Amino acid sequence: MKDHHHPSAIIGLYLATICLLLTVANAYTHYRLPTSIQPDRYKLKVITHLENPANLTFNGQVSIRFLVLEDTKNITLHVQNLTIDESRIQLKRYANKKIQLCTEGTQTVSEQDYYIIHLHETLRKGEMYKIKLFFSGILNEKLHGYYRSSYVAKDTNETKWLSVTQFEPASARAAFPCLDEPNYKAKFVIWLGHHKSLTALSNMPLEKQIPVNGINDFVWSIFEESVPMSTYLVAYTVNDFTYKESKVEGSDVVFRTWSRGGYIDQCDFASEVGPNVLKYYEEIFGIPFPLKKVDEIAIPDFSAGAMENWGLITYRETALLFAPNISSESNKERIAEVIAHELAHQWFGNLVTMKWWTDLWLNEGFATYIASLGVRNLSPEWDSYNADSLENSLSIFRRDAQLSSHPISQPILNTSQIGERFDSISYKKGSAVLRMLHMLLSQDGFFEGVRDYLTKHKYQNAEQDDLWSAFTEKAHKFNRIQPEYDMKTIMDSWTLQTGYPLVKVNRNYETGTIDITQHRYLENNTISEEEAKKCWWVPLSYTTNSELDFETTTPKKWLECDGSGKSVPLQLQNVAAANEWIIFNIQLSGVYRVMYDFDNWKLLNATFNSDKYDTIHVMNRAHILDDVISFAWSGYQDYDIAFDIMEYLTKEREYLPWKSALDGLSNVIRLLRPFPEQHAYIKTYLRYIIQPIYFNLDGLNNTIETSKSHSQILLKSLVTGWACRIELEDCVRTAINYFQQWKLSKNPDTENSIPADLRPTVYCTAIRHGDKDDWDFLWQRYKASNVATEKRTIIVSLGCSRNDKVLRDYIDLTFDKAEYIRKQDVTFAFSSIARSEVGAPIARSYYAENIAHLHEFFGTQSTDIGKLLVALSNQIITTEELNKLTQLVEANKQYFEKSEKSVQSAYETINFNIQWIGRNVQDMKTRLHDRLSLMGLLKDIVGE
């Protein structure tokens, strides 16, 4: 008789099936952890092995003390790519540590990274327990979790290895078993085991070192217990770096700025910035920094710009290290901004943390906005606050005008969606909305609200409604809004819906009335009814040319929404005389565009093109330029209004309006590139506009003395970059001369007389107009350089070549693991190749043919596949190429799971490109031909 007919065998099989069904039924698959336990304290011991490059690993143990919030028979933790020794799991009641509680097996739910431990008996509500797990893992190369990095020591040519963490948003689970969600705050005691020749750093100061039993020459570095914090802020590293120490008078916090040995002289600037900015934050927040030290460390391989881990802030080398005479003025400002951003997080994010990633903007928007105040306080002469504010607005005006954008605060229903939320909407729109609030509430109202919010929620978690309630109280206290208004109603309209308003201003010049309405501004000017119905509470500030009050940014009126969320039209009486203009949105204090009637544009144009143009505030000149260029770009108006106003730029000498105009025009010149006649016209027109400022700044000549202001240096970098791009003869010739002189120097790695701020222009122009020999020369300089900012400049410049063989080789080299470009930098190289007319098809082909390799190269957690797609989409202008791309994405859906928003944005960009060309190519030809003819400039175009 065969076994399977035997009754006991059938019963056994039946029971096994039932057990299996029960196990499956018990599989907890919700994307959020169950709420039955609350961790109180982790004791984490990790031994890191960096001795053998072929086997870079770690192993350790974690004890988690936790409180039971509701009776439970299992413990669910997060674990990713770790090996757990299941024979050594220990669970004890905290009050009676001698008795071990039994476990009944474990289970994994890989989609949510759950590791579920089933228990023999129920854990009782209100009691404390302690679980201990032993684990091991590999130091990965994917730049998240606990990973490896390396560098080559200049003097010995030896590869040095280090280990470092990057846990945000959800990779602490790849380093140790934990409850890896932001609302599970706990204290951490961290022990790092490592070779005694190396240094270990973590969030807290080092308490002591003791030998590791059983491993020769290994020590435990034991750190003080931490303040309560979320798992994503835990950090540690083992390395052989050196540091520069700094402190500021009136503060007890010690800063140490760490880098690899040969780079320590590039730490001076950062070591000054950190302590000064931290002290300023302590003053404005009224809450002392709770730790005794801050370590800032420059990591050779790092995926983000920087990471705000409490007490151990990690940076890309380009974001922390500044080399005088080699790094540029904009590098310097960027470094100050990143440091200020990460230090702002010590309060916004670390001290008070969002409850869930839905409100990521409370971290990132705040850190971005507060950083602009921190840098302004550090170097008021830079005028960086206005430049930052404009930059944020320009970037979100573009992104948020797409249907594929998203609200600042939007539910996240799976961990895989978190990565894409670290985008310009969370950072820059979050910041712009906070700036709007600051200008609305005034200095006192804003910072009192901030202090109350931070004090009330410190060491805890909050959501945006907590912020609104703090601000409502202050808005009423300081009479900034009417008693019947509240900040939640106002601010929800900005954070809970996608997009921003276009405010339409229509004047009746006979009666003096002004009618004001709003609807969503969309780049694609065909507005669906649904989108047109959206309504924002818009703070309206305005002035006229008899009043010229550009200082009062508080709203004189509100454009309101009614109870059902519909916009209420507004009418103003007798605000401006018939012969004077009106300007809304003083200093771009609100996040909205303004479209005037034709006569108001004419009145504005008359002032712009007169010697009184500078009676209009520089921020409003920049805003008006961006608006008119965008309205023409999107088909709301024709290009004549934009070109008329832009012509005043021949007189403009300030950075912000130029930045605004040239950013806006970059798209036009890009889309006209495949059409030789139109491209020649637009370049001739731009040369006419740029020439006066180019020569006023002495072109590419090295006349940037120390007396020149920061914004003038930025202006010179911007204008010369464009002058060479549109082939202004003096610019191209000077750039090539600089480069050839450099090539002829005896030791080009130490003798480079090209001014630091002009290097991006000179390198790109020389490579664009040069040959393979020039490219090879710059590639050698890249390999020899030990300045991260310079290496970044070179990576981008190498993509400027017009030689397709050179570019094919470069793109292969970029993704070759054994070569020289670090994983964090490949998107810069790829995007640079994709931007050029010769490089765009090469980049598209490479992407299509190597999609599987690219996915493997970046790793499953990365959103970089999507970033490369966005870079490609800007250059795609035909339905045929769009179809090819669509087929590629459809056939490889699994690679785009983390990049849904990027894919949508790419499609939208391409569809818009195709529409724009259909609408404008012929029109541009006629319009520019006639304009150039009137200006007497047609003779400058070869063949006319």
Which residues are catalytic, by number?
342
SS3 653: coil
Is-contact 584 542, C-beta < 8 A?
yes
- Can you tell me the distance from the alpha carbon of 911 to that of 928, in angstroms, rounded to the nearest whole number? 25
277 Cβ contact partners less than 8 Å away, ≥ 6 residues apart: 336, 339, 340, 343, 374, 375, 377, 378
Say how far apart CA 767 and CA 801 lie, in whole Å: 5
Going by their DSSP bridges, the two strands 218-223 and 187-195 should be labelled as antiparallel
- How many angstroms separate the CA atoms of 520 and 733, rounded? 46
Query: Are 49 and 56 spatial neighbours (Cβ–Cβ below 8 Å)?
Result: yes
Is residue 582 a contact partner of residue 541, using CB atoms and an 8 Å limit?
no
Q: Is the peptide bond before 169 cis (omega within 30 degrees of 0)?
A: yes
Consecutive H or E run containing 134: strand 128-138
- For 801-811, letters b (16+ CB in 10 Å) and e give bebeebbeebb
**Coil, strand or helix at 72:** strand
Distance in angstroms (rounded) separating the CA atoms of residues 332 and 342: 16
Best CA proximity match to 170, nearest among 160, 158, 179, 159: 179
CA atoms within 13 A on the CB side of 931: 22
Adjacent-strand bridge partners of 650: none
Q: What is the DSSP string of 444-481?
A: HHHHHHHHHHHHHHTTEEE-HHHHHHHHHHHHHHTT-S
Tokens describing residue 231: 């798992």
Cα separation of 821 and 501, whole Å?
A: 42
Integer Cα distance of 444 and 627 in angstroms: 32
Helix 772-784, helix 729-744: angle, nearest 10: 60
150 dihedral zone (left: phi>0; alpha: psi -120 to 50; beta): beta
Q: Of the candidates 145, 111, 116, 144, which has an alpha carbon nearest to the alpha carbon of residue 31?
A: 111
> Which residues neighbour 814 within 8 Å (Cβ) at sequence distance 6 or greater?
821, 826, 829, 830
Give strand pairing partners of 315: 298, 306
Q: Which residues lie closer than 8 Å to 137 by C-beta, 6 or more apart?
A: 57, 58, 59, 81, 82, 83, 145, 146, 174, 175
Could you tell me if 316 and 341 are in contact, meaning their C-beta atoms sit under 8 angstroms apart? no
Residue type (1 letter), 389: S
Q: Smallest Cα–Cα separation from 384: which of 443, 340, 318?
A: 340
Distance between start and end Cα atoms, the chain: 100
Quickly count: other Cβ atoms within 10 Å of residue 126's Cβ. 9
Q: Do 355 and 183 touch, CB atoms closer than 8 A?
A: yes
Which position has the token pair 């002004």? 514
Buried b (16+ CB within 10 A) or exposed e, 596-625: beeebbebbbebbbeeebeebbbbbbbbbb
Are residues 300 and 163 in contact, defined by beta-carbon separation less than 8 angstroms? no
